[in-house]
Amino acid sequence: MAIIIYHNPHCSKSRQTLALLTERGIEPAIIEYLNTPPSEVELDQILDMLGREPEELMRKGEAEFSEHIKDKGLSREEQIAQMVKYPILIERPIVINGDKAAVGRPPESVLDIL
């Protein structure tokens, strides 16, 4: 099964994580999630693999967080829907290997799932 990275080429941690994988001979499937965000079902599965709730995977410094999430009392499903609608909210990078996932912050944290 292919390893997948939800990647933002403008993010240094995302670039470092991708480099870490390729240095180990791994050529992951690269999904530039800002252009191709995961579906609500996919994001729900990713959250389950990570053992996190939606807000734990959100970039709280983004304007979209303040505008669409913060203090809104949204359900899990509503938070996921907002993350799909505004993918800039999704923390990056996320690496998936089969039924395991890790956030590359720091990049070395993805080594646990390889």
Q: Do both 41 and 81 map to the same domain?
A: yes
The pLDDT value recorded for residue 25 is 95
Q: Which of 3, 11, 30, 74 is catalytic?
A: 11
Q: pTM for this one?
A: 0.94
- Asked about 11 being catalytic, the answer comes back as yes
Range of the domain at 14: 1-33+92-114
CATH (domain of 29) = 3.40.30.10
* Same domain flag for 42 and 23: no
109: which strand partners?
Answer: none
Residues 81 and 105 in one domain: no
Torsion of CA 101, 4, 17, 27, to 10 degrees: 140
Q: Sorting pLDDT into bands at 50, 70 and 90, what band is 64?
A: very high
Statement to judge: residues 79 and 105 lie in one domain: no
